[in-house]
Amino acid sequence: MSTPAIDARTAHAAGVERLLESYRAVPPSASVRLAKHTSNLFRSRAKPNAPGLDTSGLTRVIAVDPEARTADVGGMCTYEDLVAATLPHGLAPLVVPQLKTITLGGAVTGLGIESTSFRNGLPHESVLELDILTGAGELVRASPLEHEDLFRAFPNSYGTLGYAVRLRIELEPVERFVALRHLRYHSLSDLVAAMDRIVATGTLGGERVDYLDGVVFSADESYLCAATQTAATGPVSDYTGRQIYYRSIQHDDGIKNDRLTIADYLWRWDTDWFWCSAAFGAQNPRIRRFWPRTLRRSSFYSRLMRYEQRFHIGDRIERLGHRPPRERVVQDVEVPIERSVDFLDWFLATVPIEPIWLCPLRLRGDVWPLYPIQPQRTYVNVGFWSTVPVGSTDGETNRLIERKVTELHGHKSLYSDSYYSREDFCELYGGETYRSVKQRYDPDSRLLDLYAKAVQRR
């Protein structure tokens, strides 16, 4: 390893010591939590009753090994920093979630997904080993060979079994550019059938497909976005300024071609937080012209959103217009591909939100007990992020979505509001396995229970 790598290891070791010291400083009667200034969770959280753990020394890329195609990374390192460290070596993580401020530890303990997931699965499947600070205050190395029960249960545990301190992950080679093909469909059935064929063959029209996702604007306007890495130089588009990526997908018929640098492709959704920047006026050309380029990113929009939630600005505006308040519907769900048209038809007829993001997924290996979707089976992640008028009951639309997803044998991510009963939750999210691992690694319940954190803590 180079000298900078040794320096990074030394800094990481010092950061681990500060983390352990901060754990020991938490009163035994208080719950343990991380001290984080940013978050990609979208559920309400109770006010903490103790200072958070010091994670300031866990934000680095510790080392990149180009020959082994691995990286050692601090648990609080963002994907933005991770990608910046790996791309100069012609490498990237196997799955790079869409938002720059998602941390590697967060994507593993809370799941993540992107357009490589049809061939590379989920981020935790590329983890070779990780160091975890458990609820009992022990630093444990978990892998398929050591503490295998914790290694398997950690994904989707959301920090209720422990916190990732260091992770070693696989990397894959990437080219400098990405060639995109946006395919227009007038039928959701046709789109899903084409998606299924691409997932099965890894090709489109005889050409390799490296990245695959899609966008639904309506029942008769939807797109698959199939992309392929390329070393060929040439003009590239730029969606970090006046142009907006998701609008570039739309066209009248057939196929629309585009090209991006690999970095701009990986962060194509971040500039406008998919399409959510519209809620802040950032897509209005007159406003966008003066919106600083450095603030066209998801982290800034999320700060605006938290400010809005804190002061209930949206509800106040609705009252002034004599309209009902809004229910937040910010969710990602996985549905078996053979049931995805059923879900999309139901969603478009029931929930007034569009566009909708689609991302196919196949696990690389075994079942992971806290998110037990089946391996070697194709699912479609359906993402939708907006608000709807409130109903007659708390979380009415979110509850409808949960019931429909369960009916179609799918699963819902837990980063946002959830309303399951404890019995249903345990059945869906590895109840017995979770309780066993929780008892072993957090016997005094210093960390929140998963149900309490995902459902009750509002």
β-sheet bridge partners, residue 41: none
Residue 282 in domain: no
Residue 341's H or E segment, with its range, is helix 340-350
**What CATH number has the domain bearing residue 125?**
3.30.465.10
361: left (phi over 0), alpha (psi -120 to 50) or beta: beta
Is the omega angle on the peptide bond into residue 235 within 30 degrees of 0, that is, cis? no
Q: Which of 227, 220, 248 is nearest to 114 (CA)?
A: 227
Residue 435 in domain: no
pLDDT band at 2 (very low <50, low <70, confident <90, very high): very low
Q: Which of 389, 402, 397, 409 is nearest to 318 (CA)?
A: 389
One-letter amino acid for residue 263 of the chain:
A
- Greatest Cα pair distance, the chain, in angstroms, is 64
Residue 436 in domain: no
Boundary residue ending a domain (123, 153, 174): 174
Q: Is 207 exposed, middle or buried (0-12, 13-18, 19+ CB in 10 A)?
A: exposed
Same domain, 61 and 148: yes
3-state SS, residue 24: helix
For 53, which DSSP code? B
pLDDT band at 324 (very low <50, low <70, confident <90, very high): confident
Token pair in block for residue 323: 């309209």
Over residues 380-408, mean pLDDT = 94
Q: What are phi and psi of 2, to 5 degrees?
A: -75, 170
d(CA 224, CA 213): 6
Token pair in block for residue 324: 């009902």
d(CA 39, CA 302): 9
pLDDT in tens, 178-222: 999 999 999 999 999 999 999 999 999 999 999 999 999 999 999
Same domain, 162 and 42: yes
**What CATH number has the domain bearing residue 337?**
3.30.70.2520
All residues at 6 or more sequence positions from 458 whose CB lies less than 8 Å from its CB, including other chains: 43, 44, 46, 417
Query: Using an 8 Å Cβ cutoff, are 419 and 402 in contact?
Result: yes
d(CA 204, CA 174): 19
Helices (H) then strands (E): counts for the chain: 16, 16
Boundary residue ending a domain (238, 268, 298): 268
pLDDT band at 365 (very low <50, low <70, confident <90, very high): confident
Residue 12 in domain: yes
d(CA 153, CA 371): 9
Same domain, 151 and 190: no
Which segments of 202-312 does DSSP mark as H helices, in order?
Answer: 245-248, 262-266, 285-288, 298-311
Same domain, 154 and 71: yes
* Number of domains within the chain: 3
pLDDT band at 1 (very low <50, low <70, confident <90, very high): very low
Q: Is the pLDDT of residue 47 over 60?
A: no
pLDDT band at 447 (very low <50, low <70, confident <90, very high): very high
Query: Using an 8 Å Cβ cutoff, are 182 and 249 in contact?
Result: yes
Q: Is the pLDDT of residue 43 over 60?
A: no
Same domain, 94 and 156: yes
Task: Determine what percent of the chain is predicted with pLDDT higher than 70.
Answer: 91
Token pair in block for residue 277: 């920047």
Token pair in block for residue 377: 């089976």
End-to-end CA, the chain: 46
Query: Using an 8 Å Cβ cutoff, are 34 and 163 in contact?
Result: yes
* Beta strands per DSSP E along 145-254: 162-173, 177-185, 203-204, 207-208, 211-218, 221-230
Residue 106 in domain: yes
pLDDT in tens, 79-120: 999 999 999 999 999 999 999 999 999 999 999 999 999 999
β-sheet bridge partners, residue 63: 72
Q: Which of 43, 156, 250, 332 is nearest to 343 (CA)?
A: 332
Same domain, 15 and 95: yes
369: left (phi over 0), alpha (psi -120 to 50) or beta: alpha
Q: Which of 313, 309, 349 is nearest to 330 (CA)?
A: 309
β-sheet bridge partners, residue 286: none
For position 319, what pLDDT does the model report?
66
For position 318, what pLDDT does the model report?
58
d(CA 44, CA 41): 9
pLDDT in tens, 110-146: 999 999 999 999 999 999 999 999 999 999 999 999 9
Same domain, 81 and 170: yes
Helix then strand then coil, % of the chain, to nearest 5: 35, 25, 40
pLDDT in tens, 267-282: 999 999 999 999 889 9
Same domain, 116 and 240: no
Same domain, 351 and 387: yes
Token pair in block for residue 381: 């992640």
Residue 103 in domain: yes
Which residue would you say has higher pLDDT here, 414 or 5?
A: 414
Q: Is the pLDDT of residue 46 over 60?
A: no
Least-confidence region, from 44-48, 165-169, 338-342: 44-48
Same domain, 21 and 160: yes
Same domain, 15 and 105: yes
All residues at 6 or more sequence positions from 14 whose CB lies less than 8 Å from its CB, including other chains: 57
Residue 296 in domain: no
Boundary residue ending a domain (174, 209, 243): 174
Least-confidence region, from 141-155, 215-229, 301-315, 403-417: 301-315
Residue 298 in domain: no
One-letter amino acid for residue 324 of the chain:
P
Same domain, 184 and 206: yes
- Give the residue numbers spanning the domain of 263: 177-268
